[in-house]
């Protein structure tokens, strides 16, 4: 989503974070990937990507350590750039304002990649449709296709088969960002820790989809995550943060994605602000974010 910018020819695009309302790992596929079924939801915590025309491709970030060839903004830009015929290749100046914590289970890098595809498709007048953008997004990562759509979405396969769902009723999340050391390849490591007992049928997620489709408010029992066992096993200190959320007033606490971000979903913004304020007063890093429909 683009915002108006005071600078001439510059557009500002929001790259929202996500949570997994439900995430079930069904099995390990012969190709080494895992089959999943998940309901993802964009939320009102976002990076911003500043885009303007330039003679060649340029990329910078407010966190200089993220300005590397592996950055998904840069990879997405190169992917589209290489699709253009040499005579039609154009440049862009891309600046990433990083607000979503890195390796947090919130999909920040994936959202940045999808937003870059959307922004440059517009800037370079490539006229790629949503289906083609989703195909390209899948080349960049399993969560990237979801962010081409945004909102409330059922994702299956590796995450590339998408079905838009009705938006949730107005809801607010309390997000707790545990300050713990994370391995470089956190998600890959956690996938390797899963065993057969962590695999499930997808029934919980399908029940959640039915509730959302009927525009019912889902019960907390439908917010499920196959990663929770291995996340708490790999990061034992995470239980300290979970307990802090409960003591601050959360009725339940879930892990988003492969963690370590913890969340609880509420129907009342004031209640969410109270829980976040309690956590902040006690030295935790917490925030409130609404669910977000593009």
Q: What is the pLDDT of residues 122-181, one digit of tens each?
A: 999 999 999 999 999 999 999 999 999 999 999 999 888 999 999 998 999 999 999 999
Q: What is the pLDDT of residue 134?
A: 96
Q: Are 67 and 60 a contacting pair, CB within 8 Å?
A: yes
pLDDT-derived band at 294, boundaries 50, 70, 90: confident
Q: What is the pTM of this model?
A: 0.92
Least confident of 40-54, 76-90, 199-213, 214-228: 76-90
pLDDT-derived band at 6, boundaries 50, 70, 90: very low
**Cα–Cα distance between 151 and 59 in angstroms, integer?**
27
Q: How many CA atoms lie within 13 A of 73 on its CB side?
A: 25
pLDDT-derived band at 5, boundaries 50, 70, 90: very low
Average confidence (pLDDT) over 230-239? 97
pLDDT per residue as tens digits for the range 140-156: 999 999 999 999 999 99
Q: What is the pLDDT of residue 131?
A: 96
Domain positions in the chain? 2-164, 172-290
What fold does the segment set 172-290 form as a domain? Answer: Alpha-Beta Plaits (3.30.70)
Q: What is the pLDDT of residue 2?
A: 53
End-to-end Cα spacing for the chain: 7
- Where in the sequence numbering do the catalytic residues fall? 18, 143
Q: What is the pLDDT of residue 44?
A: 97
| CB atoms near residue 290 (< 10 Å) | 15
**Cα–Cα distance between 230 and 234 in angstroms, integer?**
6
Q: Name the E strands within the chain.
A: 2-3, 11-28, 34-54, 57-61, 91-97, 152-157, 161-164, 172-176, 254-255, 262-266, 286-290
Domain boundaries 2-164, CATH class:
alpha beta
Question: 3-state class of 27 per DSSP?
Answer: strand
Strands of the 172-176 sheet, one edge to the other: 254-255, 262-266, 172-176, 286-290
Quick one: tokens of 72? 């998904």
Strands 11-28 and 2-3: antiparallel
């Amino acid at each position: 989503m683009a915002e108006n910018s005071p600078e001439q020819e510059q557009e500002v695009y929001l790259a929202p974070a996500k949570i997994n309302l439900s995430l079930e790992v069904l099995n390990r596929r012969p190709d080494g990937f895992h089959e999943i079924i998940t309901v993802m939801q964009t939320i009102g915590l976002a990076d911003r990507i500043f885009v303007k025309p330039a003679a060649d491709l340029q990329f910078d970030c407010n966190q200089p350590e993220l300005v590397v060839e592996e950055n998904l903004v840069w990879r997405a830009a190169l992917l589209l750039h290489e699709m253009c015929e040499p005579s039609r290749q154009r440049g862009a100046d891309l600046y990433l304002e990083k607000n979503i914590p890195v390796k947090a289970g919130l999909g920040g890098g994936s959202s940045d990649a999808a937003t870059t595809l959307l922004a440059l498709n517009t800037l370079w007048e490539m006229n790629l449709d949503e289906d083609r953008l989703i195909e390209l997004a899948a080349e960049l990562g399993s969560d990237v296709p979801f962010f081409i759509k945004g909102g409330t979405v059922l994702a299956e396969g590796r995450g590339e088969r998408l079905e838009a769902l009705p938006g949730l009723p107005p809801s607010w999340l309390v997000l707790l960002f545990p300050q713990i050391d994370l391995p470089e390849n956190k998600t890959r490591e956690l996938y390797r820790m899963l065993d057969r007992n962590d695999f499930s049928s997808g029934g919980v997620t399908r029940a959640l989809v039915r509730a959302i489709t009927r525009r019912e408010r889902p019960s907390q029992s439908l917010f499920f995550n196959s990663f929770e066992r291995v996340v708490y096993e790999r990061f034992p200190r995470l239980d300290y943060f979970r307990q802090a959320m409960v003591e601050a007033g959360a009725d339940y606490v879930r892990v988003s994605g492969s963690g370590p971000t913890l969340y609880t979903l509420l129907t009342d913004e004031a209640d969410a602000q109270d829980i976040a304020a309690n956590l902040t007063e006690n030295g935790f890093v917490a925030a409130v974010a609404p669910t977000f429909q593009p």
